């Protein structure tokens, strides 16, 4: 009897793990994936609509009921994922395996998607303003969609592969931004003490110029400042776009390394 129970327990755990693992488990798993993804999308819509006071006041009971249903679904999903994680070989230890599984970024996001509700209900129930602010944390549930998107998974692979190049590009951009803003402060401070009051204030001009947005609220008026601004704008056109080109090359390499039909690695 005990052996039969253990066998059924292992089978149930394995089946649950397959059902909750994206890309596995067959039609039933796909139905679960689509259902959870739909809940996430509806939650984002609910958060957006909940900021409209007349709408929220009129349908407050509907919002609250949907929130309870969503939290119940996401909590059950999280608990079942952690419980069934030991079905995978890398998390087969009943305690430490589950702890390692719980530290995965996707699982941490699953936890953050429900924790604000419990904190807002239990800890801050006496302060309605805090409860209203906590509702905005439901936007964290949007990140749960990453698990159900091959495109997001592909972006994650490319970002990991190009991490070193991206760090160099971002560091170079940050260096140029700091240097240009500092120089502009010394050049323009006397002519515009309000617009370039200090280097941190000049950083706003640097960001706007490097990204070629050009809002026009802060701009140089001295000849030397204009020359510096033109130089920074030209340099920024290529340097700020460098991370995008790095990611583009990464996507090209990733596509060449994978089968266009099934998406698996090519030997």
Please give the model's pTM, rounded to 2 decimal places: 0.59
Q: What is the pLDDT of residue 145?
A: 64
Q: What is the pLDDT of residues 92-126, one digit of tens each?
A: 888 888 899 999 877 888 888 788 777 766 555 44
**Is residue 199 a contact partner of residue 208, using CB atoms and an 8 Å limit?**
no
Cβ contact 168:242 at 8 Å: no
pLDDT by residue (tens digit) across 189-199? 989 888 888 98
**Mean pLDDT, rounded, of the chain:** 79
Q: Residue 127: its pLDDT value, please?
A: 46
The pLDDT tens digits of the residues spanning 127-168 come to 444 444 555 555 566 666 666 666 666 777 888 888 888 888
- Structure confidence at residue 129 (pLDDT): 47
Non-local CB neighbours of 173 within 8 Å, separated by 6+ positions: 210, 239, 240, 242, 243
Which residue shows structure tokens 């309605």? 128
What band does 209 get if pLDDT is binned at 50, 70 and 90? confident
175 vs 96, 169, 171, 208, 236, CA distance in Å? 43, 10, 6, 15, 12
Task: Inform me whether the pLDDT recorded for 23 exceeds 70.
Answer: no
pLDDT in tens, 232-258: 888 877 777 788 888 888 888 877 765
Q: Which two tokens stand for residue 3?
A: 């052996």
- Choosing among 1.20.120.10, 1.20.120.1200, 1.10.287.70, 3.40.50.720, the CATH entry for 163-255 is 1.10.287.70
According to DSSP, residue 162 is labeled T
Q: Residue 176: pLDDT above 60? A: yes
């Amino acid at each position: 009897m005990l052996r039969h129970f253990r066998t059924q327990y292992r089978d149930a755990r394995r089946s649950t793990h397959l059902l909750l693992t994206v890309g596995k488990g067959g039609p039933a798993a796909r139905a679960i994936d689509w259902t959870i993804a739909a809940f996430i999308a509806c939650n984002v819509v609910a958060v957006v609509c909940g900021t409209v006071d007349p709408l929220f006041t009129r349908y407050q009971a509907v919002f609250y009921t949907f929130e309870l249903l969503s939290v119940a679904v996401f909590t059950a999903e999280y608990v079942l994922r952690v419980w069934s994680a030991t079905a995978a070989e890398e998390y087969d230890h009943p305690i430490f395996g589950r702890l390692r599984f719980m530290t995965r970024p996707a699982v941490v996001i699953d936890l953050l998607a429900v924790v604000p509700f419990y904190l807002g209900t239990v800890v801050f129930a006496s302060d309605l303003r805090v409860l209203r602010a906590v509702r905005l944390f439901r936007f964290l549930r949007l990140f749960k969609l990453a698990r159900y998107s091959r495109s997001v998974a592909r972006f994650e692979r490319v970002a990991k592969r190009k991490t070193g190049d991206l760090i160099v590009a971002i560091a170079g951009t940050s260096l140029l931004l700091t240097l240009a803003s500092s120089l502009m402060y010394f050049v323009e401070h006397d002519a515009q003490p309000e617009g370039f009051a200090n280097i941190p204030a000049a950083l706003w001009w640097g960001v706007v110029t490097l990204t070629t947005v050009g809002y026009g609220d802060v701009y140089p008026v001295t000849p030397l400042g204009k020359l510096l601004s033109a130089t920074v704008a030209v340099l920024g056109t290529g340097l700020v776009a460098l991370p995008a080109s790095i990611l583009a090359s990464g996507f090209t390499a990733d596509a060449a390394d994978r089968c266009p039909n099934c998406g698996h690695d090519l030997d």
